[in-house]
Structure 1
Amino acid sequence: MQHLSSEMRGCIDECLRCYQTCLSMVSQHCLPAGGKHVQPEHVRLMLACAESCRTSAHVMLLGTPAHEHTCRACAEVCEACAKSCEAVGDMQECVDQCRRCAETCRTMAG
């Protein structure tokens, strides 16, 4: 990863943390909690966020300029996921991680 800037490495790390957080929260927190935590729209958004983060990290690791597009989309999905998690409640870890990821992705999108 030496060819990547420290800014890009930081964004990759945030994306991978967000990927891990969203998947873990949906499977280990939302599913057992039930109720509004498992509303289809919320679960789909969390899964889309995880996948968007994984894809953005992957594209940055490839070192192509396409990362600007994936990071822009990732930032939007992460922000939407943070809002959904905030509305559902009792998901602050996910809210915080999604917002950190959105911020770094906006920077990488330019």
Structure 2
Amino acid sequence: MSTATASMKECLQNCQECQTTCADMLTSHCLSEGGDHVEQTHVKLMLDCIAACAACVDFMSRNIDHHALYCRACAEICKACADSCDKVGNMDKCVECCRKCHESCSSMAA
């Protein structure tokens, strides 16, 4: 990945952090909290966010030209996930990393 730009490396790190944070929060926090934390739409958004971040990591780590397409989708999904986590409450860690990922993916998709 020596040809990757600094912004791409930052985005890759943000996607990795978001992927692992959301997976951890879903399995260790949401499942034990129950209620709104395990509501179907919220869980699906978290799973979509995890998958979108993983796809971005995959494409950016190979420095593929099409990574911008994945970053655009990832940005939208991360924003939706952040909004859902914020609404559910007590998920500040997820909200923060999703918003950070949204910002960096948006800049890669431009």
* Same fold per superposition (TM over 0.5): yes
TM-score range, shorter chain: over 0.9
Distance 1:67 1:51 in 2: 14
Q: CA deviation at 1:62?
A: 1.3
Amino acid of the residue matched to residue 92 of structure 1? D
What fraction of aligned residue pairs are identical, expressed as a percent? Answer: 44
Q: Is residue 55 of structure 2 the alignment partner of residue 49 of structure 1? A: no
Distance 2:42 2:80 in 1: 10
**Number of equivalences:** 110
TM-score norm. by structure 2 comes to: 0.98
Distance 1:30 1:15 in 2: 20
4+ residue stretches of structure 1 with deviation over 2 A?
A: none
In structure 1, stretches of 5+ residues that fail to align are none
Map 1:29-108; keep pairs closer than 5 Å.
Answer: 29-108=29-108
Counterpart secondary structure, 1:52: helix
Distance 1:10 1:2 in 2: 14
TM-score norm. by structure 1 comes to: 0.98
- State the Cα RMSD in Å: 0.6
Q: Is residue 21 of structure 2 the alignment partner of residue 9 of structure 1? A: no
In structure 2, stretches of 5+ residues that fail to align are none
Distance 1:50 1:102 in 2: 13
Amino acid of the residue matched to residue 6 of structure 2? S
